[in-house]
Amino acid sequence: MRSSVLVLAALVMFTLSSQAQTTFGDTLYSFNAGALTPTRDQTLLGLTFAQGYFWVTGMNAPQYDHRLYKIHPNGDSLVSYTSLGTGYHAYYDLAYDGRFLYVTDRDSLIEIDPQTGLRTGNGIGTDFGYLLVKGVAYDPGNDHFWVIPQRNGQQQIIYEIDRAGNTINTYPNPDSDYTTSLTWDTLTPGGPFLWTFSREEEGYNSRGVMRQFSPAIGRFTGVEMEMVNRSEIIVDSPLGITFTDELPGGQASLVALQSGALNVYDGLDWVVVYDASGPGGGATINVTPSSIQAQVNQGDSIEVPVYIGNLGQAHLTWEAYAENADSAAMPSGILGDTLFSINLMRVLGDSTFRSNSIAYARDHFWVSGYSAAPGGTGALYKIDRNGVLVDSYPVYGSSGRGWRTIASDGDFIFATDTYSIAVWSIDSARVVNNVITGSISQRSLAYDPNNRHFYLGALNGAIEVIDFSGNTVRFMTTPYPIEGLAWDHFSPGGPFLWAWTETGDSGMVRCEAIQLNPQTGIATGRRFSGVNPGTGTSFPEAVTLVRDVASNRLILAGLQEEGQFPVTEAFIVGYDLAANLPPVWVQLSGATLGTLSPAGEDTLMVRLHGLMGDTTTAAVIRIRNNDLSQPLVEIPVTLAMLSSPLTGLENPTPATARSFWLEQNYPNPFNPSTTIGFYLPRDGNINLRVYDALGREVRELVNGFRPAGRYSVRFDATELPSGIYFYRLGAGNGIEFTRRMLLVK
C-alpha cells in the first residue's frame, strides 16, 4: 500500500504531480535534510512547519553549537540558519504558536523569533524533576502547550500546560512507546488531535509509529501511521514531527524527521512527507445488551454477560465501572473527616508492639507487626471494627519480624517477602501459594482483584505493577515517598490508587493521603492530611480501604505510628473518603478493562445480588472507550429483588422457628467458602448436607447427635465449580429445611 523510495546521500524528490493517487500513510515525497546542513549534522532533532518553511533544530558536534535551520518546503535548499548558542542544552522539539517558535530546552520552552532565528529571552518553565522535556505541540484553541518528558525506564506521561507552566491535565502514553515529538492537528475531521511520534518496542520488534490522540476523550483513538524506513543501511529513528496542509499540493500531511545516522558526519537525516488526508476509521464500540432488567430472589445472585465488540478499523480500549443511577444526588460527606481511631497498643496489650502493614477483609482489620520484647516474633492480628482483638497468627517473614506489607481480596492475605508474594488463606490460616517476583520493593502493597495485579510502592516514589505470574506489567514514578498503597474500585470514575505518604511539612501532621491514577501514577487532585490521634506526631505506615455498608461510607484506614524511638503509640485511624459508592448489589467480575483488535470481542460479567426482598432498584454501568462518536457508553440496570421462598418448605412460622431454624448462608454469593448457621431448641439427631443443582449430594457437613443451641458450620467449596447449590438441614422428627446458595469463582 505504501510507496517506498530509498534516498541515500543525494536529494531525491517525488512531487505530487508525478505520483499516482495516494492513500493515508503513503509517502508523498522525502528529502535528506542532513545533506543540506553546512556540516552534514548527524544530530538533527526537532521539526515544525511555520510561515511557509520547515524549521529544524540540530547540533553541530563536536563543538555543541546548537542551530536552527530554515529549509525551503520543496526540500531543495537551505534558506538560512542561526546559532542558538553552545553548551549543555536539549533542543529536542519545536512548536509554533502563530507568532513565535518554541523549542524544548531541558526544563523549559525557549521562545524564538522566526524573523531573526534567535532567542527572545522569554520562555515557559516546566518541572519534571530530573527528566528533560522532550516533545512539544501547541494548541491554538486553548492557548495551551502539550509536552512530554524523556522516558527513563518508566512510562512516559503527556502533560497539558498553560503559558505559566501550570499542569492542566496529564495523560498516559502507551507503555511500549518512547515518544520523541508531538504535533497538533486541527485539520482532521473529529479533531482537534494530538499526534505522537514514537519508537515502539514490543519484545525484539521495533518500529516507528505516529499515533492519534483525542483530547476530547483523553485517549488515543487507535488511528496510527507506521514510519517508512528511508535508509537501507540502518533502521531509522523517529525524531521530530509536524502536521500541515501548506505543502505543495495543499493536502493534509504528517511530516516526520527520521534519522538513519551511523556516525557524526554521515548526514543521513530524512524529512519524509506522508499523506494524512482521510485517515482510516478509528475504533467503533458495540455493546450488547444496551440495558439490563432482571429479577432475583432474596439471597440469590445472577450473572449477566455484557458483550463489548469492536466494529471499527483501529484498536479499541475500554474500561468499565458501576455507579448509582443518580450519584450526584447522594450525600458524600467531607473528604478527610476522622471517623474513628483504634489504639493498637491498648488492643494488643503490648507496649513493645511495632506495626508493619494493614489490610481489611471479612469485616475485620488484619495487622501485620511484631513484638519488640525479648523473644518476640512476628504475627498477623485479626481485629474487629470495635477495636477488639479476635485472633492472632504467627508469621515470620525473612526478617523474623512478620510480613512487611500486606493486602487482601477478601479471601486471601497477600504478603510480600524478599523474592515473592505469599498467598495466605483466611479460611485455612496458612500459606497456600507464592507468587515468585524476583527482588521487589517491600514498602507498600495494593491488589487489583479484577485484573489480578499487584501494585508495589517504594519510598522513592516508584510503583511497580506485577501480574499474578510475577511478570512486570508496567513501572511508574511519583514524587511522593510512598509508605502505603490501597486499591479503590469503589469511588465513581475509578478505579484509583490511594497513596499514604509522609508530608514534608514542618507542622505536627505528617500523614497525607493522595489519590492516584493507577495507569500513570499521576495525582487526580483529591488529597487530604491525616491527624495525630495520640500525644505525639504520628507517621504513616500503611493503608487499606473499608467499605461500610451500614453507613454507605468509603473509609481510608491509615496505619500510623509515632515517629520517635522507642515507639509508644500506634493507631488505626479511619478517614471519610466522601465517595458516592456504587450499590452493593451490582458487581463487575473478571477483567474490567481491555484492548480489542478490529472485529474483536470481550465479555464483561455483571453480577446482580438479591440482598433484600420486595425491592426494585437501579444503577448504571459506564464504559469509557476511545470511540470518538460514543466515548462513554451507559447501560442502565434495573433489578427487582423478590422475597425468597425455601425449596421444600416455606419459611417457617415463628412457632416453627422456635423449634427448628436454618439460616441463610453468609456470604452469599461466596468464593470459596461460606458459613451456614442453624438453631436447635432441643437435643436431637440432625444432618446437614449440600447438593448440586441436579440434586446430587456433594458434601455432608453434619450427621449425628447435637445438644440444643445455635451452631455455625463452614462450607469450603474450593474443589467445586461455580454454580447454584442447595443445603438441607434435617431432624429426626422428619422436618427438613432447604436453602440455596451461589458459588461464584
In a shared domain, residues 570 and 611: no
Mean predicted confidence (pLDDT) in 726-745:
78
632: number of Cβ within 10 Å: 10
Report the candidate in 107, 179, 103 with the shortest Cα–Cα distance to residue 148. Answer: 179
State residue 86's pLDDT score: 85
Distance CA 275, CA 3 (A): 11
Strand partners, 317: 595
| First-last CA distance in the chain | 48
Residue 351 lies in a domain: yes
Query: Residue 499 sits in a domain of what CATH number?
Result: 2.120.10.30
Residue 413 lies in a domain: yes
* Most confident segment among 181-190, 230-239, 424-433, 646-655: 181-190
State residue 10's pLDDT score: 32
| pLDDT exceeds cutoff 70 at 328 | no
Listed in sequence order, the residues at least 6 apart from 90 whose beta carbon sits closer than 8 Å to its beta carbon are 104, 105, 106, 132, 133
Distance CA 333, CA 575 (A): 11
153: number of Cβ within 10 Å: 7
Measured CA to CA in angstroms, residue 182 lies from 194, 247, 404, 509, 656 at distances of 7, 19, 43, 42, 75
In a shared domain, residues 483 and 373: yes
Report the candidate in 110, 46, 62, 54 with the shortest Cα–Cα distance to residue 84. Answer: 110
Residue 74 lies in a domain: yes
pLDDT digits (tens, 9 = 90+) for 427-476: 889 999 988 887 666 689 999 988 889 999 988 888 989 998 888 888 88
**Torsion (CA) 573, 576, 579, 582 in degrees, nearest 10:** 60
Report the candidate in 122, 104, 105, 125 with the shortest Cα–Cα distance to residue 113. Answer: 122
B/e letters for 379-417, b = 16+ CB within 10 Å, e = fewer, are bbbbbebeeeeeeeeebebeeebbbbbbbbbebbbbbbb
| pLDDT exceeds cutoff 80 at 9 | no
State residue 267's pLDDT score: 67
Measured CA to CA in angstroms, residue 456 lies from 279, 282, 358, 436, 735 at distances of 40, 35, 14, 14, 54
- Cβ(327)–Cβ(580) under 8 Å? yes
Residue 85 identity (one-letter amino acid): G
* Most confident segment among 5-9, 16-20, 93-97, 670-674: 93-97
Report the candidate in 615, 613, 663, 665 with the shortest Cα–Cα distance to residue 643. Answer: 613
* Most confident segment among 210-219, 300-309, 730-739: 210-219
- Cβ(639)–Cβ(294) under 8 Å? yes
Query: Residue 729 sits in a domain of what CATH number?
Result: 2.60.40.2550
Mean predicted confidence (pLDDT) in 241-262:
90
In a shared domain, residues 324 and 351: no
Domain boundary among the residues 642, 670, 689 is at: 642
Distance CA 88, CA 64 (A): 8
Query: Residue 295 sits in a domain of what CATH number?
Result: 2.60.40.10
- Cβ(633)–Cβ(288) under 8 Å? no
Residue 532 lies in a domain: yes
In a shared domain, residues 48 and 134: yes
Distance CA 298, CA 292 (A): 18
State residue 147's pLDDT score: 97
In a shared domain, residues 198 and 233: yes
Helix (H) or strand (E) holding 698: strand 697-706
Measured CA to CA in angstroms, residue 455 lies from 186, 223, 380 at distances of 38, 30, 21
In a shared domain, residues 118 and 231: yes
Count of structural domains within the chain? 4
Domain boundary among the residues 642, 667, 684 is at: 642
Q: Which triple of cell numbers denotes residue 543?
A: 493503608
Of residues 440 and 5, more confidence is placed in 440
Lowest-confidence segment of 215-219, 242-246, 642-646 by average pLDDT: 642-646
For 428-548, list the strands marked E by DSSP.
430-436, 444-448, 453-457, 462-467, 472-477, 482-488, 496-502, 511-516, 523-529, 538-548
Residue 649 lies in a domain: no
pLDDT digits (tens, 9 = 90+) for 255-280: 999 987 665 556 678 999 999 998 87
Report the candidate in 677, 606, 589 with the shortest Cα–Cα distance to residue 409. Answer: 589
| pLDDT exceeds cutoff 70 at 392 | yes
Residue 12 confidence class, pLDDT cut points 50, 70, 90: very low
State residue 20's pLDDT score: 53
Percent of the chain's residues with pLDDT above 70: 90
526: number of Cβ within 10 Å: 17
- Stated pTM of the model: 0.73
Residue with cell 430472589: 297
| pLDDT exceeds cutoff 60 at 405 | yes
In a shared domain, residues 457 and 477: yes
Residue 121 confidence class, pLDDT cut points 50, 70, 90: very high
Residue 188 confidence class, pLDDT cut points 50, 70, 90: very high
In residues, how long is the chain?
745
Exposed, middle or buried, 132 (CB in 10 Å: 0-12/13-18/19+)? Answer: middle
Percent of the chain's residues with pLDDT above 90: 45
Residue 6 lies in a domain: no
Of residues 589 and 625, more confidence is placed in 625
673: number of Cβ within 10 Å: 18
Distance CA 587, CA 257 (A): 49
Report the candidate in 587, 591, 547 with the shortest Cα–Cα distance to residue 450. Answer: 591
- Cβ(641)–Cβ(610) under 8 Å? yes
In a shared domain, residues 52 and 176: yes
Exposed, middle or buried, 487 (CB in 10 Å: 0-12/13-18/19+)? Answer: buried
pLDDT digits (tens, 9 = 90+) for 289-318: 999 998 888 777 888 999 999 999 999 999
Listed in sequence order, the residues at least 6 apart from 572 whose beta carbon sits closer than 8 Å to its beta carbon are 341, 342, 344, 358, 365, 367, 383, 557, 558, 559, 560
State residue 13's pLDDT score: 39
**How many alpha carbons lie under 13 Å from residue 484 in its C-beta half-sphere?**
28
State residue 335's pLDDT score: 93
Mean predicted confidence (pLDDT) in 8-34:
64
Three-state DSSP string of 282-339: CCCEEEECCCEEEEEECCCEEEEEEEEEECCCCCEEEEEEEEECCHHHCCCCCCCCEE
Tell me the helix, strand and coil percentages in the chain, rounded to 5. Answer: 0, 55, 45
State residue 630's pLDDT score: 94
Residue 9 lies in a domain: no
Classify the C-alpha dihedral 647-652-656-660 as positive or negative: positive
Q: Which triple of cell numbers denotes residue 652?
A: 417457617
DSSP string, 30-43: EEESTTTSTT--SE
- Cβ(635)–Cβ(623) under 8 Å? yes
Mean pLDDT score across all residues of the chain: 85
Give, as one character, the DSSP assignment of residue 215.
T
In a shared domain, residues 241 and 297: no
Exposed, middle or buried, 15 (CB in 10 Å: 0-12/13-18/19+)? Answer: exposed
Query: Residue 80 sits in a domain of what CATH number?
Result: 2.115.10.20
Mean predicted confidence (pLDDT) in 644-658:
40
Domain boundary among the residues 234, 249, 275 is at: 275
State residue 609's pLDDT score: 85
- Cβ(425)–Cβ(433) under 8 Å? no
Residue 453 lies in a domain: yes
State residue 657's pLDDT score: 40
State residue 19's pLDDT score: 47
pLDDT digits (tens, 9 = 90+) for 502-529: 887 655 678 999 999 898 888 888 999 9
State residue 616's pLDDT score: 87
In a shared domain, residues 571 and 593: no
Mean predicted confidence (pLDDT) in 606-620:
85
In a shared domain, residues 483 and 394: yes
In a shared domain, residues 483 and 502: yes
Residue 719 confidence class, pLDDT cut points 50, 70, 90: confident
Of residues 383 and 519, more confidence is placed in 383
What radius of gyration do the chain's Cα atoms show?
31
Mean predicted confidence (pLDDT) in 326-355:
84
Structural domain of 726: 654-743
